[in-house]
Structure 1
C-alpha cells in the first residue's frame, strides 16, 4: 500500500468520484472515520444512487444528519437521488396536472424520468447543503460520496433562462426538461460551482480500479472536470491484488494484468498524485473493516472476526453461458440485446454468444460499439455464418449533433444554441444517436440472429417513441383490424427480442442492473436473462485470500437470484477473453465443481 497521498494538506471539501463499483463509498467512509478519529469534525454526504453508507456503518441514516455510533466527531447524511428526483418532478408537473391533457402529462413525466433529472435534482440538494452555513460551519471536513458529473455542471453553467427557452418550444427532450423551473436557484448554483472549482477549498478524489476499462473511464471523467476548473485532483487506485499470492495461477495472472494496466496509465492520470489501496479479503462493512482499508496492519484481525472465508454455493437456478445459448438457439432467430453499465463485460458476452450461435450453424450478425476493434478484427472473416458490423459511436454522435444543430439550432440566438449544444451532450442523446445506427440492422433479426452490444435504456426508448411519435403515428394511420409492427412493439415482444443484462457480483453493479431492469419495465420490456461476469465463486480457486474474497460475493449473488428468472455466471479468467478460442471457452460447460448449488 502506498502512502495516503490524497489526504495530504486536505481542504475542507472532498469529492469522491468514479464509475460504479470502484469503491467510492468504501473509500469515502474509511476516510471519514480516519479523519474523525484524528480529531476532526467530519460530515459525510452521500449523493450516490447506489449508496449504502447506512449499511456500511450499521445504522439508519437517510436524509438527515445522523451521528455515527462509535466514531465521535463523524456525522453522515444520505441524499436520496430518487426522492429528490420525485420531488423535482412534482414541483414541475403538479401545477399543470389539471390544465393539460393526460398524454402531455405522461410525456412530461417520462421526460423527467432519466438520469439527467436525478443528477440535477441531487445537485439541487447538494447546493442547498453547501449554502447552509449554520448546518456545516462546525465541520472541518465535508466529504461527498459521488461528485456531480461534468455534464451536470455544464448544464448549470449555461447562459439564458431555461424555463423561457422551454416555454418557447425550442427545447429537445433529453436534458432540458430537468432544468425547467431552476432559474430561481442560479445564485445558489453559482456559489456551489465556485466552491467546486476553488482548489483552496475543494479536492477531487478520482477512484478507479486497476483495470484498463476503469482507467479509461477515470481519464475521461478527469478531462471533463478539469475543463470545468476542478484542478486539485488526486488518483486512488483501489482494489489492487496484494503481493504474496503467486502460488495461485489465477491470482498471479490477475496481478500481471493489473500491473500491465497500471504501466499503461493514460498520461493525464499518470501525472496525478497517486494512492494505491490493496484489495481486502472481506467486504468493507463495519467500522473495523473501514479502518483496515487504510491500514493493512488491521486486516488479519478483521478477517479472523468475520465468517467470510468459505466460498458460497451458488443460488439455485444459476447456470453457465452455454445453457443460455441453448435456449436462445431453440427459440430461433431474434434480436439479442446485451445491456449493462460500462466495464461489466457486455462486449465480451455479446461476442461469445454470437460466436457460439454461429458455430451451431445459425446466421448471426454481431453489431458492436466497442471502440477497441479487436473483436471485429478477430471475428470478421474467420468464422463461418458470423458477420460483424462495428458502429463508431463518436461518429454517430457527432453526425447526429451536427444535424440537429443545423436544423433546430439555425433558428436560435447564441444563448439558445449554447443550451441546445449542451443538451446534445447528454447520455440520452448519445443513446439516441447510436440507436439510429443500430435500427438499420435490427430488422434483419426476423431471419437471423442479431446480437447488439450495448442498447438504449428504457427511458431512451420511450423518448425515441415520444419524440418521433413513430409508434403512435403508425397506430393512428392503420385501419381497424390491420396488422402492423412498430420498432417499439418488436422490442417489447419477448419472442422477437431477448434482453440480456450483464453485471458483476458486487453491490453497486447489481443495483445498477436492477435499476436498468426497472427502467426497461417502464417501456414494457422484460429481460430474458442476466449474466454475472468475472465471478470468483464460479472460478477454481486455491488461494485462501481469493476464497475469502469469493465469499464476499454471496449477498450480490443472492440478490441476482431474486431479480432474474434466468442467470448465467462466468468465472474470473486468468487471461482476457480476446480471440475466437478464448471467447469459445466462455460458452463451454463449466466443470461440475464450479457450479455447486445451495
Structure 2
C-alpha cells in the first residue's frame, strides 16, 4: 500500500502498465480511511471516467459512491486555450485584433499545449487554488516521456526567458512567462522535497517495461526527484501447477523480477497480482489492494477459442497489388505497437519487398526487438527518428540558411531562438516528412509514439499543411503536403493496436475518433496478447481472462472496425522470433 506520509503522490510509467488502476485504487483506499483526496489526471489520453465509473471533467467534482474522493482531468486542449487567452489578454489594449489573432496562431504549437498543462498542474501544488483543501493529491500522470517533458519544461523556458528578456517564444511573450516563474520555482522545489512528494514507478514484470522504469528512475533522479518507489503490476501466479503454459508464464514473470535493472534494486518494491477481471468501478479498485476481495469477485468462466485472422492475413492484404506504402502502428503506450511494427516490417520484407522500419517514439524499443533475430532480410533497413539528433541537424540547417548573412550578434540571437522548446517538435516533424516521401517508392513502417505524442505530431503536420496552403503560389491540385499523404488511404494504412481489454479498447476508439476528425481513417485494428487465440492452457485464471476477451472482440468487430486482426499471447521473452515462427509456415504457403 503506498505511503500516506507525503501530500503529493505521482504514479508514472510506460502506458498500459496500470498507472491509472493503481493511482485510482490508492485514492479510493485513502478516501476510505478518512483522508480528503483529490485525484488528477494529466494524461492527454486519460480514462479516469471509465476506471472510476463516475463522471470526470476539467472541473473538480465528487466521485460517486465516496464522500472523500474528488477527481478532475487536466484537458490539454482546454488548458492551452485558456493559456493563450491569459497570455494575450494584457496585450489586447495595445495590439490590433489582427495582431492578437496572429499571436494566438503562433501559440498553437505542441509546446504551448505542454506548458499550458504544466501551468494548470502547478496550481494544485503551489496553493493558488483548491489544492490546499485536500489532505492528499494523487496524480495519475501521462506516459513517462510526456511526464518528464512537463517536469523539464520550467528549466527549459526559464533559461530562455533569462537569455531573451525582451523577446518572445512559441510559449508567449517572455514577460508573461516570467510573471509565473516564482510559482514554478516553488512547484519544482516541492517535487524535490521527499517530505512532500513521492514518485511511484509503475511497471509490468516484463523486460521492456522494467527497462522503461529504470530509465524513468534515472531521469527523475537527474531532475532531483529522488523519493521513488517501485510498483510491479500484473504479476501472474499459476493456479494450475500442471498447466505448462501457465507455469511458463509464471516463470517468465519471476525471472524478470529477479533480474530487474540495478538502479531499481535499491527502491522499495511492491507487487500486485494479475487479475482475471478488468479493474473498473469502486469495488474492483478496492480489490486491487485487498486479496480477500479479489477471491470474492473471481468466478470461473467457460471460454471458446476465437477464430481471429492473424498478422499473416494482414500482411497479405497490405501487400496485395502493392509494392510501396506507409504503414503506421498507433495506440496507447504499452499495447504492443513496436512488436506489431517490427513483425509487419520483417514479414513484408520476407516476401521480397523493400521495407524501411523506423520509430518516432522517444523510448525507441525497435532495436530491442530486432536484436532478438539471428538475421534480418537484406531488403529491410532500420533506424529511428532521434529527437535530440534531429534537433541538432535542424538547428545546424537553420543556422546555415538564415545565419549566412547575419553578424555575430544576429547569429547569437538566432541560436538562442532555436533553443525554444518547440524546436524539437519541428525537427522531428521534418524527419517524419522524409519517411513519408520514402513511402512513395517502398514500404515504410513507422512505430509511432504513445497516443498523446502521436496526436501532437499529426497536429504539427496539419499546421504545416495549412501554412503551405496559405502561402504557396501553386494551385492546390499541384501540392501534396505530408498531412495530405496521411489522409491518402491508398498510400497510408493506419493500424490501431490495442489489447483485448475494455479500457485499452476504449482508448483506441477515442484515438480513432480523433484521427477521423483530422480526416484520417484507420485501415484496421490489431489486438495484441490474445489468450483466446491460444488453446494450450487450462489454468482457471487464464481461462477467465480469455473468456472476457470475447465481448471485447465482438464490440470491436461490430462497432469500431471493418477489419480486425489478432496477435496471440506468447509465453516467451523473445517475442519477435516466436511470433515470426508462429506465422512462418503460413507465409511460405502464401508465397507458393
How far apart, CA to CA, are the structure 2 residues paired with 1:151 and 1:517? 25
Tell me the secondary structure at the aligned position of residue 43 of structure 2. coil
Q: Select which of 344, 364, 369 maps to 1:353.
A: 344
How far apart, CA to CA, are the structure 2 residues paired with 1:446 and 1:575? 36
Q: Does 1:583 align with 2:580?
A: yes
Q: 1:477 to 1:288 in 2, by over 3 A?
A: closer
Distance apart, 1:216 and its partner CA:
1.9
Q: Select which of 332, 339, 348 maps to 2:322.
A: 332
2:460 corresponds to: 463
Distance apart, 1:15 and its partner CA:
1.4
Q: 1:461 to 1:127 in 2, by over 3 A?
A: closer
Task: Give 1:478-497 correspondences, 5 Å limit.
Answer: 478=474, 485-497=480-492
CA contact (8 A) 1:151 1:425 kept: no
Q: Does 1:263 align with 2:254?
A: no
Q: 1:109 to 1:71 in 2, by over 3 A?
A: same
CA contact (8 A) 2:329 2:341 kept: no
How far apart, CA to CA, are the structure 2 residues paired with 1:38 and 1:277? 20
How far apart, CA to CA, are the structure 2 residues paired with 1:97 and 1:313? 66
Q: Select which of 332, 355, 363 maps to 2:353.
A: 363
CA contact (8 A) 1:160 1:416 kept: no
Q: Select which of 207, 210, 218 maps to 1:223.
A: 218
How far apart, CA to CA, are the structure 2 residues paired with 1:23 and 1:445? 35
CA contact (8 A) 2:399 2:415 kept: no
2:120 corresponds to: 125
CA contact (8 A) 1:400 1:433 kept: no
CA contact (8 A) 1:348 1:583 kept: no
Q: Select which of 435, 445, 464 maps to 1:451.
A: 445
Q: 1:88 to 1:239 in 2, by over 3 A?
A: same
Q: 1:163 to 1:526 in 2, by over 3 A?
A: farther
CA contact (8 A) 1:530 1:564 kept: yes
1:435 corresponds to: 432
CA contact (8 A) 2:462 2:483 kept: yes
Residue range with higher mean Cα deviation, 87-96 or 145-154 = 87-96
Q: Does 1:33 align with 2:28?
A: yes
Q: 1:154 to 1:379 in 2, by over 3 A?
A: closer
How far apart, CA to CA, are the structure 2 residues paired with 1:463 and 1:83? 18
Q: 1:381 to 1:165 in 2, by over 3 A?
A: same
How far apart, CA to CA, are the structure 2 residues paired with 1:138 and 1:580? 54
1:301 corresponds to: 296
Distance apart, 1:31 and its partner CA:
1.4
Tell me the secondary structure at the aligned position of residue 260 of structure 2. coil
Q: Does 1:568 align with 2:565?
A: yes
How far apart, CA to CA, are the structure 1 residues paired with 2:385 and 2:53? 46
Q: Deviations over 1:94-133 (max 9, x none)?
A: 968941598x58954752xx3x444433332222233447
How far apart, CA to CA, are the structure 2 residues paired with 1:191 and 1:434? 37
Q: Select which of 538, 542, 545 maps to 1:546.
A: 542
Tell me the secondary structure at the aligned position of residue 56 of structure 1. helix
Q: 1:521 to 1:117 in 2, by over 3 A?
A: farther
How far apart, CA to CA, are the structure 2 residues paired with 1:516 and 1:372? 22
Residue range with higher mean Cα deviation, 138-147 or 92-101 = 92-101
Q: Select which of 320, 332, 345 maps to 2:310.
A: 320
Q: 1:85 to 1:471 in 2, by over 3 A?
A: closer
Tell me the secondary structure at the aligned position of residue 336 of structure 1. strand
Residue range with higher mean Cα deviation, 580-589 or 245-254 = 580-589
Q: 1:586 to 1:577 in 2, by over 3 A?
A: farther
2:150 corresponds to: 152
Q: 1:371 to 1:538 in 2, by over 3 A?
A: closer
How far apart, CA to CA, are the structure 1 residues paired with 2:532 and 2:548? 9
Q: Deviations over 1:73-106 (max 9, x none)?
A: 333344344433343345557968941598x589
Distance apart, 1:555 and its partner CA:
6.5
CA contact (8 A) 2:21 2:285 kept: yes
CA contact (8 A) 1:334 1:448 kept: yes
1:205 corresponds to: 200
How far apart, CA to CA, are the structure 1 residues paired with 2:411 and 2:280? 53
CA contact (8 A) 1:471 1:488 kept: no
CA RMSD, 1 decimal: 4.2
2:42 corresponds to: 47
Distance apart, 1:234 and its partner CA:
0.7
Q: Does 1:189 align with 2:184?
A: yes
Distance apart, 1:151 and its partner CA:
1.7
Q: 1:414 to 1:160 in 2, by over 3 A?
A: farther
Aligned length: 564
Tell me the secondary structure at the aligned position of residue 151 of structure 2. helix
Residue range with higher mean Cα deviation, 44-53 or 93-102 = 93-102
Tell me the secondary structure at the aligned position of residue 99 of structure 1. helix
2:499 corresponds to: 504
How far apart, CA to CA, are the structure 1 residues paired with 2:302 and 2:175? 52
Tell me the secondary structure at the aligned position of residue 457 of structure 2. helix
Tell me the secondary structure at the aligned position of residue 275 of structure 1. strand
Distance apart, 1:136 and its partner CA:
4.5
Residue range with higher mean Cα deviation, 339-348 or 21-30 = 339-348
Q: Select which of 327, 338, 343 maps to 2:334.
A: 343
How far apart, CA to CA, are the structure 2 residues paired with 1:329 and 1:536? 28
Q: 1:153 to 1:387 in 2, by over 3 A?
A: closer
